[in-house]
Structure 1
Amino acid sequence: MGSSETIRRNFSVKNLFMKNIEFKSYLTGLIEGDGTIIVPDKIYSKNNKKNYPSVQIIFHLKDLPLALTVQKTLNCGSLNRIKGVNAYNISINSREDIISIVSFLNGYMRSPKIYDLWKLIDWINSQENTEKIYKCEKDQSSLLSNAWLSGFIEADGHFRVRAYLSNFKIECKFELVQPAIDHNKNSNYCVLEKIGTFLNSSVKMTRQTKPKKEYRVRTTNLKGNIILEKYLNEYPLFGSKNRDFQDWSNVLYFFKRKVHKKKIFYDRIVAIKSGMNTSRKNFQWNHLNNFYILEK
């Protein structure tokens, strides 16, 4: 039987390993939701300058504290405001940092962006004096197994509460939208379908008359909302959506108690709704103190 010191050491190693999985899967979801993997088709440009790949992660303007925290955790990349857009961009360009990012993403990707990752791995493997990297397949594990969905929601999720004064009707829903077809002509249906199934919902195509169609998953029942609430309590959000989720969860409480249809609670729900999403003026970032620590 092992000593107590050995047991503590083994537990510490396992805990460290799990923390790394949570950060890597969260980062992967973040990049698959609102990031870009750019791999040059040609080694040299028309000006005879060598082309290099890049991994970029986009953050809304109000999520600057999260962007700074992610950059600090990665310990690489440059953070810049995107001109003419309410957004910041972490751009990772050096060969060493690119290889590091690939090691984080490889094995955790679930969307068609995996083909961009594989193209990037091919580029790395073509370089001289580089240890070859094996291309992992898509992560087929349960969405409950890691923080991937949390990162994906961070990028493209929306917590919605609607209140109708005419009949005191309240809606408490979550939705997630992605382009139907990505830049490589690959469909995002499969990854959205898995999320829809997880949330006891389904995938709907929107903007059908527009050139750029979208797929949307929206919770439609209490069961799906409770599943999402439980998941995000286990794998939290760290951007401005953290507060929107907390407010949404407070509204969900009335639904779980089955009192959301009572007029006496209408004003309380409307008050919560009035400070959510684009109406939010004040932001608190204490939750970033609990952000993932990447152990190497």
Structure 2
Amino acid sequence: MPALLGDKLVIAISSRALFDLDESHQVFEQEGLEAYRQYQIAREDSPLEPGEAFALVQKLLHINSLLEGDSRVEVVLLSRNSADTGLRVFNSIQHYQLGITRAAFAGGRSPFTYIPAFGCHLFLSTHAEDVRATLEAGFAAATILPSRLRRETRDELRIAFDGDAVLFSDESEQVFQREGLAAFQASEQAAARQPLGGGPFKPFLAALNRIQTEFADAPCPIRTALFTARSAPAHERVIRTLREWNIRLDESLFLGGLDKSDFLQAFGADLFFDDQEGHCQRAVGVVPTGHVPHGISNFKKPEST
């Protein structure tokens, strides 16, 4: 009988998000595929250094050890490498004793097509095109930005989300960008009791929330937070939407356009997801950040002639 991942939280991650492959990628860029292949084979017994999302993966997998043998988190490696060049990645996984046993090596092509088959809730990659394709297919995904930040040593996993175009649809953001702040506030106040549509990260947050409910009688290893530029009166629709979804966030910050960076640093986010590149570039200086290229803020405007 085939194994099933069932109701696990399934995270897909690229090899370059999990490990530091910058040096070998430079070989590929400058000398080509065969030189890259030989480079990796010659070093396949040398463990790679941790990458941007390594600490996040460690904390996710640590949750399994707290559930008395009930494995609820699965991390799957999705890589553009071939199995031949990917052996160094798997050897590094074993070196760090990460509980990752499943992988898809796509041999130079985008591996995002395997996300539905694995039942993934989230894909993390450094390859922006793969991330966009995943979002367009209806799955949560983010481009992990380079930060080189010092990693937190605590076991608690802290995930921070932007609201519109991430947790929620971008319907309200469209009003804001088309008509301005006053129209946005008036529209949200008028629709305060009308739930927002779900954004690409709604299923991921729901899966996190299901795991959180299993720690009702013990300290929970996951803490979630919303960091939104909204303020009163646009806050009410957000609160009522989450209530309608029966999804709980541990913390919610309505910042009214303030820079999120200091607040994210105070929260101690292990990863922050935002759809706007400007917000991401500021946040990545203080916390690991994933850009979500989704919604109106990421539509390419036609060039004027």
Q: TM-score range by the shorter chain?
A: 0.3 to 0.5
Higher radius of gyration, 1 or 2: 1
Using structure 1 for the length normalisation, give the TM-score.
0.34
**Higher helix fraction: Structure 1 or Structure 2?**
1
